[in-house]
A and B are shown apart, each in its own frame.
Chain A
Amino acid sequence: MRVALARRRRLLAVGLSIAAAGGIAAGCGSSSSKESSKPGSGGGGSLTVWHYFAVDTQTAVLKQQDASFIAKHPGVKIKLVFVPFANMNQKLIAAAAAGTGPDVIIADGAGSVQLAAAHAIKDMTSCVDTWSAKDDLLPVSKRVVDGKTLGVLPYGNLVALWYNKTILDKYHLKPPTTLDEMETDLATVTKGGDKGLLLDGTPTFTSAWSAQGLFTAQGVEYPNIDTPATTSAFQRLGGWASKGWVPRDVTSMDQPTAMNKFLTGKYAFTINGNWEIEHAKKDAKFDYGVTTLPNGADPGRPYISGETAMLGNFSKNGALACQYLNETWFSPAGQRLTLKGIGSLPMLKSLQDEPQLKSDPIISVFVKQASNATSVPPGNQFTGNSTVWGPAISKMWAGNDNPAGLAKKAMADLKGVLAKKE
């Protein structure tokens, strides 16, 4: 596992740093030449796409992708079905149990092992082989489990450290690069009457997602948490909560709420994602910046994830669905749409040299952070993230319990979850 992750990281780093000269043009060309040779490209057909996009910038990108496909295939109808995030997997599995479901799913891919087990989605390996971008995809974009490609990420999302420059300047502080500096900064700003760090602390996997970098920096590598490092990390971070550096009610604060509160200008930091770039541009009334997560003895490494494109198992139009993904989300043009529209990182190697990725002071930080990001754990490990690790972190931020006790209990409970057959 560790080896695989490390390899993936290295590949990603390579992918993000190496620009394939002329790759963009080649990608475009091959895409359009292939499309005309495909059967049924000019004919009709309909696709149902399930998604949970509810933010304007995201739905706009979704609609642009579809419009570009319909423009090339006038007979095709695309039906977008919104399913709330919380109900998506439930609805997919219930639909599969009844022998039906959508053609394409753009949703959280962390449950893809379960979705595959329930026959809600199918192996995309042969589909991806027909894509013009098949050799151009960053390895981290594919969710491969037991040799099956369960889903492919059209873009990467990850967190880094956002800081309020106006507040830091007031105390003559620099954006922190280590946990020690971070603690000094937090102590200084909170002493001066400003507020500290915001991050998702809700009792599910999102709090594990947000705090992941703070744990890796202290040598905690989920799911191998049965180490003394976990206990000391819980004690250290639990101290942040008890000192008031992290407000205790982050336990009911999800990522977007944390961002919205950060944008009020009262908080010095938030650990938050690249998908908020446009939002921040629009609403921030103070100077802000983004820096990579603070390092400890080990580097602070976030998860890289994002929505995942999956193919429905009960699709009647499998070939068209595959073609849709090829020509929209995974085409260079489609990838640029998501970069421009939601600030999400492209997953094609050939696009890693896009001017925006380097010149934009904020996106470039996320690109840098991506070079040491890790994939979200699959299957039971993910379930453990939602049911044990996330709730334990949430309790840690609440500060009602002894951090060492929480760590110990999390270690024991996680063993039970990981022992279950998948």
Chain B
Amino acid sequence: MSSVSRRAGLPARIVMLATLAIYGVPGLFMVMTSLRTNSEVYAKAFDFHFRPTLKAYQAVGDYDVTAAVWSSVRITGLTTLLVLALGVPAAYALARMVGRLRSVGLASLILLQLLPASTLVIPLYQVLRSLGLLGSVQGVIFACTAYYLPFAVILLRPFFLGVPVDIENAALIDGASRARIFWQIVLPLARNGVVTVGVLVAMIVWGDFLFALTLLVNPSDYPLSTLLAQQVSDFGINWPRLMALAIVAAAPIVALFLAMERRLSAGLSVGGVK
């Protein structure tokens, strides 16, 4: 592995320390807040002299966290799978297209990405009702897939541009079908990219709450992100509980990221450059 700023010791160090402070201090603030009481937080926002309490986390336990985690896992997992199942072939096709059709395809993907989720809610309600998916987790998965598919295709396409066409042409001459070439040659080469985009989509869907909030009616189906939105009410914010829930909600996805980090950075390098 090469490195650009290998020799730039001091500036790099300063940048890293500054970054650590810019993200670490608010992060620390979140953790600290989750260990205090609400009135303490209002009395003094930043205070290192406090007696840590796990009350906020105990309060989080009052919610049906297992059900919420299960719902989050279902929504995130199935949405990610669907987005990849539909998006990967589409991205490959767009990477192998030239001319007007490609331009139209890409432009419409950008356009679809643009729809603000809140304006989509009303038409989506009608679509889901006609499909009989209203109020179900499947309906949320349907909506999330529709919403994040264009994003995924745009991110996935460069990974397929990185796969040399020559290999495919050689396989074509050998009489392989397009489907086989895709499955046996292209996909393994773009694997990192697929994993990368999959993880990114999973992260974003994990944090999404608007669709679940508006499309679900059964509270036991609510995912973690929606429980979090529940902390913000017209009658006040319980800071410690909000932060505790944010930490609980972020923990699984941070763990997923750390587990995937090596492949992710390798994958992103292909996607970014090509």
A residues whose Cβ falls under 8 Å from a Cβ of B? 48, 52-55, 58, 79-85, 87, 90-91, 93-95, 97-100, 102, 108, 206, 254-257, 259-261, 263-265, 275, 279, 282-283
Contacts and interface: CB of A to CB of B under 8 A. Distances in A.
Interface in B232-246: 232-238
Contact of B236 (A52, A81, A259): A259
Given A81-B218, A98-B125, A254 B42 contact: no
Given A82-B219, A84-B232, 6 more contacts: A53-B235, A84-B230, A97-B126, A98-B125, A102-B217, A264-B42
Residue among B39, B126, B134 with the highest chain A CB neighbour number at 10 A: B39
Contacts of A48: 217
A68 to B, nearest CB: 21
Interface of B: 38-39, 42-43, 118, 121-122, 125-126, 128-129, 134-135, 213-214, 217-219, 222, 229-238
26 contacts: A52-B233, A52-B234, A53-B235, A55-B238, A81-B219, A82-B219, A82-B222, A84-B213, A84-B230, A85-B234, A87-B214, A91-B214, A99-B129, A100-B129, A100-B134, A206-B234, A255-B234, A256-B236, A256-B237, A257-B236, A257-B237, A260-B38, A261-B42, A279-B236, A282-B39, A283-B39
A82 B230 CA distance: 7
A84 B121 CA distance: 15
Nearest to A91: B214
A83 B213 contact: yes
Contact of B122 (A97, A261, A275): A97
Contacts of A52: 233-234
Nearest to A58: B235
Contacts, number: 89
Given A58-B235, A275-B235, A263 B219 contact: no
Residue among B39, B118, B233 with the highest chain A CB neighbour number at 10 A: B233
A58 to B, nearest CB: 7
B233 A81 contact: no
Given A48-B217, A54-B230, A84-B229, A263 B42 contact: yes
Contacts of B135: 100
Contacts of A95: 125, 217
Nearest to B235: A55
Given A99-B129, A264-B42, A94 B214 contact: yes
- Closest 8 A/B residue pairs (Cβ): A256-B236, A54-B233, A85-B234, A98-B129, A283-B39, A260-B42, A55-B235, A94-B125
Contacts of A275: 235
Contact of B121 (A55, A80, A90, A254): A90
A379 to B, nearest CB: 21
A79 B213 CA distance: 16
A94 B217 contact: no
Given A54-B231, A84-B230, A98 B237 contact: no
Contact of A90 (B38, B214, B237): B214
B31 to A, nearest CB: 21
Contacts of B238: 55
Nearest to B234: A85
Contacts of B128: 98
B255 to A, nearest CB: 28
B263 to A, nearest CB: 37
A90 B135 CA distance: 15
Residue among B43, B118, B121, B232 with the highest chain A CB neighbour number at 10 A: B43
Contacts of A261: 42
B210 to A, nearest CB: 8
Nearest to B127: A98
A83 B210 CA distance: 11
B126 A55 contact: no
